[in-house]
Chain A
Amino acid sequence: MRNVVLFLISFVIPTLGMAAIQETKKCPSDAHWVRAYFRNAYIRVDGTKVSASNVAAHCAKNRKSHDFGFPLFKNTLPTRWPWVGEKIKSWTVEEIERVLEALDSLPKALRLKSIKGIYRFGRSKDYPNPATSRAGEIVLYDTALDESRNLARILSHEFAHEIYRNFSTKEKYDSDLAANWFESSDDKGRTIRVARGDGFVELDGRQSSDEDFSNNVEYFLFEPEKLKTATPNVYTWIGKYFGDTFVISP
């Protein structure tokens, strides 16, 4: 028995380990190793339906968002996460590939350096909310990865929240002015935010200038005509602010 154990320690385990390492090393420098996995059906950003299938292990060519996106996947809790009832999950190979694909389709202006982590949670306290964010951190829930959901669209919305948080004073005033948001204070010094009367692409945009901005950026990218109709002023402002390259690339 002792000999068997020694044999395993001396030869078998190292050999298997070496094989695994060599397997990952087979990939060229512009590619990464993807373990075999079962891929659920989903819809690509351009509307293409991708059917469920077993994906064999392979070297995948690094996507253009690889350097930005790959280090962001975290299997831990975000810092100072206030919603204690929400449970973390670990990223699967399939999910990582899907998020990277979605990131690839987003304009470069959304790949913000201030984002330090994308976290994976099970169920939102506000189910079926697909995503939540705070400064530098985005959490994706199970629902974000549902077959029917447009993951790139969800991510664009969360990145837009980060842009709004990072706005300088001037940028915030300019953006709020374009969207007809005004700020004041009541007799106790508490902030009052006054919204325009109508012209919201989503109803929850009435709730805050931040939410309104994120909806508007999302619609600018994915349903521009709706934004143009609802609030042309904002459509023009976003176009000028981000420039011509602010488009989805399927």
Chain B
Amino acid sequence: MNKKIITIISFIFLASCSTTSTRSSQDLALDLSLNQVEKLNIGNVDANDVKKALGDPDQVMQVRSQSQGNVWIYLDKASKSPRVSLFFDDETRKLMSATWFVREQDPEVQLSSAKRRYPHAKFEIIKSKWETGHSAPADEVYYFDKNLGLKLIYSPVPNQVRSIVRIASKQGQVSDRTVSSSVK
């Protein structure tokens, strides 16, 4: 409530932004899949490569905070809400992360299903911390495998995986992931 309080949540950087809508309505008809996103060679591909793979983004935003770059947003066809966000570093111009927003109808919304998708992952479990601010953020648990460049963001309430984050893996390409054959 104190308007002078600066709420800074651990590991969360806030950014001023300018947004541009770039995607045509025809493009919106093409829904993206997690498989498509995970084929992106994070750390090595640039904006042109991503456009070839996924098409134009629906929104582009500039991020001016501790991490500087551009965020591309691709919307879900039905809900028009974000499905994927991509972060391009200003300096290298390379794609540095891909965040997949899990929907309630996705199998990955269940933590067990999301973990099954990555049978070779060795997750470090990190609980979110309340460090500043007058209101604690929602409890979140991060399942992080730095070697695979994989992070599952899980909310105990309402017991859902909110998003799947891919960054450049230490072992090489993100697409090195082995997908369990039982999970599509």
A183 near B17 (CB under 8 angstroms)?
no
Q: How far is the CA of A182 from the CA of B14 in the complex (A)?
A: 10
Q: Which residue of B lies closest to A173 (CB)?
A: B81
Q: How far is the CA of A221 from the CA of B44 in the complex (A)?
A: 49
A208 near B151 (CB under 8 angstroms)?
no
Q: Which residue of A lies closest to B68 (CB)?
A: A186
Q: Which residue of B lies closest to A154 (CB)?
A: B1
Q: How far is the CA of A158 from the CA of B96 in the complex (A)?
A: 36
State the main secondary structure of chain A at its contact with B: mixed
Q: Which residue of B lies closest to A206 (CB)?
A: B14
Q: How far is the CA of A185 from the CA of B157 in the complex (A)?
A: 22
Q: Residue B139 at the A interface, CB < 8 A?
A: yes
Contact of B1 among A129, A192, A197, A203 (CB under 8 A): A129
Q: Which residue of A lies closest to B14 (CB)?
A: A193
Contacts of A169 in B (CB 8 A): 101-104, 109, 155, 158, 160, 162
B138 near A208 (CB under 8 angstroms)?
no
Contact of B135 among A174, A176, A182, A214 (CB under 8 A): A214
Given A135-B157, A165-B137, A197-B18, decide whether A186 and B82 contact each other with a Cβ distance below 8 A. no
A165 to chain B, nearest CB (A): 4
Given A131-B134, A185-B165, decide whether A157 and B1 contact each other with a Cβ distance below 8 A. yes
Contacts of B157 in A (CB 8 A): 135, 165-166
Contacts of B7 in A (CB 8 A): 204, 207-208, 210-211
Q: How far is the CA of A130 from the CA of B5 in the complex (A)?
A: 11
Q: Which residue of B lies closest to A165 (CB)?
A: B138
A37 to chain B, nearest CB (A): 26
Given A131-B134, A174-B81, decide whether A208 and B9 contact each other with a Cβ distance below 8 A. yes
Contacts of A191 in B (CB 8 A): 11-13, 153
Q: How far is the CA of A77 from the CA of B41 in the complex (A)?
A: 49
Q: Residue A216 at the B interface, CB < 8 A?
A: no
Q: How far is the CA of A129 from the CA of B155 in the complex (A)?
A: 28
Q: How large is the interface on A (under 10, 10 to 19, 20 to 34, 35 or more residues)?
A: 35 or more
Q: Residue B111 at the A interface, CB < 8 A?
A: no
Contact of A82 among B85, B130, B137 (CB under 8 A): B130
A135 to chain B, nearest CB (A): 6
A214 to chain B, nearest CB (A): 7
Q: Which residue of A lies closest to B106 (CB)?
A: A169
Contact of B61 among A131, A182, A187 (CB under 8 A): A182
Given A133-B136, A164-B138, A169-B155, decide whether A189 and B5 contact each other with a Cβ distance below 8 A. no
Q: Residue A128 at the B interface, CB < 8 A?
A: yes
B67 near A192 (CB under 8 angstroms)?
yes
Q: How far is the CA of A191 from the CA of B65 in the complex (A)?
A: 12
Q: How far is the CA of A195 from the CA of B12 in the complex (A)?
A: 12
Interface residue ranges, A against B (CB under 8 Å)? 82, 124, 126-135, 154, 157-158, 161, 164-170, 172-174, 176-177, 180, 182-197, 202-204, 206-208, 210-211, 214
**Pairs A–B under 8 Å by Cβ, sample size 5:** A135-B138, A165-B139, A167-B158, A187-B167, A191-B11
Q: 3 nearest interchain CB pairs?
A: A134-B136, A129-B2, A187-B96
Known A-B contacts: A132-B135, A135-B157. Give 18 more (CB < 8 A): A130-B2, A157-B1, A158-B135, A161-B135, A169-B102, A172-B162, A177-B82, A183-B99, A184-B85, A187-B89, A190-B11, A190-B12, A190-B13, A192-B71, A193-B14, A195-B14, A204-B4, A207-B7
